[in-house]
Copies of this chain bind each other. A is one copy, B any other.
Amino acid sequence: VKLADLSTPALLIDADSLEHNLATMAAVLPGSRLRPHVKAHKCTSLASAQRAHGHRAFTCATPREVIGMVAAGLGDDLLLANEVLDPQRLAAMAALQDRAVITIAVDSHETIDAAALAGLKYALVDVNVGLPRCGCKPSDAGHLADYARSRGLVVRGVMGYEGHLMAVPDRTEQRAKVAESVEKLIVASLLVGGDIISAGGTGTYDLHDQVTEIQAGSYALMDTHYGGRGHPFQQACFVLATVISSNSEYAVGDAGLKTQGMDHGNPSIEGATVRFLSDEHVTFVPSAQIAVGERVRLIPAHIDPTMAMHEVAWLIRGDDVIDRWPIDLRNW
């Protein structure tokens, strides 16, 4: 199959750029130093490629991701880096523990009770390191660990996500802020015990020397939010559009805001200016008039929600489509 044969809109993954990104990250953070976050791609085929680069432990954001990873034979060591209260979904994960190691984040008595009641075995204490989201105060982490152990859970350590620091433009300032943030996690780790100190993301993957593992995900496919910041990763994901209307002022492609995450703003098109997106259209100004039927590639502004909007990604090399990867971990 050739790229030209694909119906549009189509989600493309450039095989060589993906391979470059996976190899580059595995060289810096080999094996268990990286716990790739599957929420960034929601695709077990891509997770298998990450495993082929030596990473056997993965991070998930939803029960469905955990369950899908186990079904794909990728359940060696799964961290659900999120709080869950739903008894049905917790039970569904607990039922998989004969063939997978599943560890869940907890940050309250309620989340500990829910995990213990469902029969989950392993937990990490989720610590707030500055991002106003989930996670307990560092000073509460020890008590929560004690409580979790009293409920029968094995507490493997701590996690924290410095999401508010991913895009600090100045690297020296970013490094200092990450260190300050990690200090909170280290304190919590001393109170909690266990082997794991899990943190980080694509924006800070190379700024950590005290944690045991990094949870990066976006590095594999990238987006315009993480691009252009000097990271050694290439843009590997695109949304292919066909020009369905064109005139002397602008052109219209058939990939709209239902094809990509818009929370970080508009996607980009090389050599063109994107004016706006509608549900099913992108209106853009090309550098020279473009013919109806030509194709353009949109570079997503935010990779995670973009992947979640597609049923399938097409793995390409040059003009060839070399594989079809279902986005099998989407939905809830």
Contact = CB atoms under 8 A, between A and B. Distances in A.
Interface of A: 7-9, 39, 61-62, 82-86, 88-89, 107-108, 110-111, 132-135, 163, 242, 244-246, 249-250, 252, 254, 257-258, 261-263, 275, 277-281, 283, 292-293, 304-305, 308-311, 331-332
A307 to B, nearest CB: 9
26 contacts: A7-B86, A7-B88, A9-B332, A39-B279, A39-B280, A62-B280, A83-B252, A84-B244, A84-B254, A85-B244, A85-B293, A86-B242, A107-B245, A108-B246, A108-B292, A110-B292, A132-B249, A132-B283, A133-B245, A134-B245, A257-B261, A257-B263, A258-B305, A258-B308, A262-B262, A262-B305
A123 to B, nearest CB: 14
A277 B258 contact: no
Rank and list the top 10 A-B pairs by shortest CB-CB distance, nearest first. A262-B263, A83-B244, A134-B245, A110-B292, A258-B308, A61-B280, A257-B263, A279-B304, A311-B331, A262-B262
Nearest to A306: B258
Nearest to A310: B331
Q: Which DSSP category, helix, strand, loop or mixed, fits chain A's interface?
A: loop
Contacts of A242: 85-86
A136 to B, nearest CB: 9
A8 B63 CA distance: 11
A244 B134 contact: yes
Contacts of A292: 85, 108, 110-111
B133 A252 contact: yes
A332 B283 contact: no
A48 B279 CA distance: 22
A82 B280 contact: yes
A82 B252 CA distance: 11
A132 B283 CA distance: 7
Contacts of A88: 7
Nearest to A8: B86
Contacts of A8: 86, 332
